């Protein structure tokens, strides 16, 4: 049977359908233009799920489950999303499992969005052959997930605790892709540039763009060196929108962190959607 995965971000929502092999056969990303509240979020989910099903001529009866990767905190067994006020989101706490079950009459699973991305990469992606790992999804915000495998069973750690470890001496070492873009905006005296602008300018030979990226990466290197001493994990996966530009930085990180196994997400920004379809299985 098919499954549906949903990845709610601070600036967009991604919805996809997988086949019996767990491969994405249809997906859609919707960018938020205005603040998103609970009722509008449910409308977006409902409308786009039906559109994706119609596009592939799939009947709702062929959908086994719907999984959601949500930003921040969730009470996954009860189906409660604690909500988010970050960037384009303006959502109060509510039982999203109950609401979606009343609409679709399907099994509904929820999890932190970065944990969903980690499930995907640990099960079938960059960390598939690793016994443990640490994942960062770098986009509008920063997601963090820790993973350990015991007898092939995947367990996930506490994101909040990891964030406490990584923010040392009031310094945040690993910042979002959006933060990098803002820093670069200040450097070049421009506003509202696309996130990929810094890489376009690197291609064009900009020393300012290159130095800005390397300073951002050096902070990541310093943070990972500190964090590894705390948790003894050296298998790293970078996901989110930043992973789409890995050719500009992956070799730099590998050179600076020779004792680490540095990877970017095999499934790039789709990993949280795919991971959401694995909820209830792993």
Which residues have C-beta within 8 Å of that of residue 168, sequence separation ≥ 6? 226
Architecture of domain 2-116+271-278: 2-Layer Sandwich (3.30)
Quote the tokens at residue 23: 């491969």
Domain limits, the chain: 2-116+271-278, 129-265
CB 148 within 8 A of CB 282: no
**pLDDT tens string 164-183:** 656 666 788 899 999 999 99
Which pairing describes strands 132-138 and 235-239: parallel, antiparallel, or unpaired?
A: parallel
- What mean pLDDT value characterizes the chain? 94
Specify whether domain 129-265 bears CATH 3.30.420.40: yes
Q: Do 2-116+271-278 and 129-265 fold alike per CATH?
A: yes
**pLDDT tens string 67-121:** 999 998 899 999 999 999 999 999 999 999 999 999 999 999 999 999 999 999 9
CB 49 within 8 A of CB 15: yes
């Amino acid at each position: 049977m098919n499954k549906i995965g949903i990845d709610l971000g601070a600036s967009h929502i991604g919805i996809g359908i997988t086949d019996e092999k767990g491969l994405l056969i249809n997906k859609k990303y919707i960018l938020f233009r205005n603040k998103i509240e609970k009722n509008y979020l449910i409308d977006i989910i409902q409308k786009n799920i039906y559109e994706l099903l119609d596009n592939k001529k799939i009947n709702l009866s062929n959908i086994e489950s719907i999984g959601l990767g949500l930003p921040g905190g969730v009470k996954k067994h009860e189906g409660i999303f604690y909500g988010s006020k970050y960037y384009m989101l303006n959502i109060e706490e509510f039982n999203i499992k109950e609401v979606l079950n009343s609409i679709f009459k399907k099994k509904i699973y929820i999890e932190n969005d970065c944990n969903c991305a980690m499930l995907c990469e640990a099960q079938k992606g960059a960390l598939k052959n690793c016994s443990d790992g640490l994942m960062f999804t770098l986009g509008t915000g920063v997601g963090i997930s820790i993973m350990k495998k015991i007898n092939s069973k995947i367990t996930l750690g506490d994101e909040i605790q990891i964030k406490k470890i990584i923010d040392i001496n009031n310094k945040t070492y690993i910042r979002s892709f959006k933060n990098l873009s803002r820093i670069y905006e200040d450097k070049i005296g421009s506003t509202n540039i696309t996130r990929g602008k810094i890489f376009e300018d690197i291609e064009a030979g900009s020393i300012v763009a290159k130095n800005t990226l390397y300073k951002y990466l050096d902070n990541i290197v310093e943070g990972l060196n500190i964090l590894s001493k705390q948790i003894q994990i050296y298998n790293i996966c970078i996901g989110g929108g930043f992973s789409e530009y890995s050719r500009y930085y992956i070799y730099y990180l590998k050179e600076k962190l020779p004792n680490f196994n540095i990877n970017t997400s095999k499934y790039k920004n789709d990993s949280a959607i795919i991971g959401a379809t694995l909820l209830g299985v792993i």
